[in-house]
């Protein structure tokens, strides 16, 4: 590895990002959690708002899930924030609010896996532990023409071992992790890599053979499961009936009456079997929402009832509840 060229490139060209300017372990932890499944430009305003609202583990651990979700609503992939809250409570109870500078201890914290632990160890504590994310996999697989399938876990582990050796030999774990991540994000892109700007082009085997786009090798993902829901936006008195989800998916966020069916008649009959008569007044524009592992096709209807439904709340002000991006889409076609 040409460390000097890589580090000089990073010093000159890295993006001016707030989480690049800190070695605070808590702030690094929050940034890595927020960057999961989320682009940098999208996460930045949430990151700044989150740290302003919850500046340390003590403050975060003192809050309930609703308070946390309200700060990040709209960003998506909310399970990570439930785990972050659990992790903060664990750190306060076990380590007096300070993240430990021990890799194995970090792995015991809820929500922290090998990648996040490696990022905290190398960036916050400057210790040689690898943080092998998608960007790093792409850079190293191209540089070394690593042709094994990265959908297979054992092959990821092999590359992580290579990354472990590289960071140990770097002499600067902090800068190594930052540099390789930044290179993958800004130069060694999945499509249209900027090889003429890359500090590692002289040693990159795939660049020399013109095969950059063949790496990393990834077998095709399974098709996402598709589910159809009928959503009933039911008016009652001066509000609407919603409930808080307790499923793992979108846990803690509010939803209208949502029934897994494409038939409005089936949905009405389901409620009538529970003793609730639903009057439908309008059919709204269908909505598609894509998760990492499934796709929801939503058919929303406006209607009203003359009684409360068990398990639901009467909501008169949508700004006061935790709203998922799914609910935001429904409100957009409704209002």
**Residues designated as active site:** 32
Please tell me the distance from the alpha carbon of residue 121 to that of residue 173, in angstroms, as a whole number: 9
Tell which residue, 29, 20, 22, 21, has the closest CA to residue 50.
29
3-state secondary structure of 174: helix
Residue 145, helix vs strand vs coil: coil
Picking from 191, 187, 189, the residue whose alpha carbon sits closest to that of residue 200 is 187
- The residues that bridge with 288 in the sheet, in sequence order, are 297
Q: Beta-carbon neighbour count of residue 157 at 10 Å?
A: 11
Residues 6+ positions from 193 with CB-CB distance below 8 Å:
142, 187, 212, 213
Beta strands in the chain (DSSP E): 225-236, 239-244, 254-255, 257-259, 279-283, 287-290, 294-304, 313-315
Q: What is the spatial distance between Cα 71 and Cα 252, in angstroms, rounded to a whole number?
A: 13
Beta strands 257-259; 313-315: pairing state: unpaired
Give the single-character DSSP code of 321.
S
Structure tokens given for 158:
């092999």
d(Cα 18, Cα 16) in Å, to the nearest integer? 7
In the structure encoding, which two tokens stand for residue 301, read together? 């209807």
């Amino acid at each position: 590895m040409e460390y000097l060229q890589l580090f000089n490139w990073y010093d000159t060209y890295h993006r001016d990002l707030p989480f690049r300017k800190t070695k605070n372990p808590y702030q690094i932890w929050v940034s890595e959690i927020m960057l999961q499944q989320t682009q940098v430009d999208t996460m930045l305003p949430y990151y700044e708002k989150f740290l302003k609202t919850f500046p340390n583990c003590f403050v975060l651990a003192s809050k309930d899930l609703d308070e946390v979700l309200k700060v990040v609503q709209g960003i998506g992939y909310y399970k990570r924030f439930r785990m972050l809250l659990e992790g903060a409570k664990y750190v306060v109870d076990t380590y007096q609010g300070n993240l430990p500078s021990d890799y194995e201890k970090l792995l015991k914290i809820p929500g922290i896996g090998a990648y996040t632990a490696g990022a905290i160890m190398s960036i916050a504590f400057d210790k040689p532990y690898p943080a092998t994310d998608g960007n790093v996999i792409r850079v190293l697989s191209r540089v070394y023409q690593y042709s094994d399938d990265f959908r297979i876990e054992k092959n990821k582990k092999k590359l992580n071992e290579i990354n472990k050796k590289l960071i140990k030999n770097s002499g600067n774990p902090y800068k190594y992790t930052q540099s390789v991540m930044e290179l993958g994000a800004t130069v060694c892109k999945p499509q249209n890599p900027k090889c003429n700007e890359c500090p590692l082009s002289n040693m990159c085997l795939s660049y020399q053979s013109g095969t950059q786009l063949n790496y990393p090798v990834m077998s095709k993902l399974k098709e996402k499961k598709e589910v159809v829901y009928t959503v009933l936006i039911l008016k009652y008195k001066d509000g609407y009936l919603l409930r808080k989800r307790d499923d793992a998916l979108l846990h803690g966020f509010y939803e209208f009456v949502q029934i897994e069916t494409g038939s409005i008649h089936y949905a009405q009959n389901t409620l009538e079997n529970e003793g609730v008569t639903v009057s439908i007044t309008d059919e709204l524009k269908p909505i598609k929402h894509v998760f990492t592992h499934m796709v929801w096709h939503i058919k929303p209807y406006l209607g009203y009832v003359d009684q409360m439904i068990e398990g639901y709340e009467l909501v008169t002000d949508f700004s006061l509840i935790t709203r998922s991006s799914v609910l935001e889409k429904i409100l957009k076609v409704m209002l």
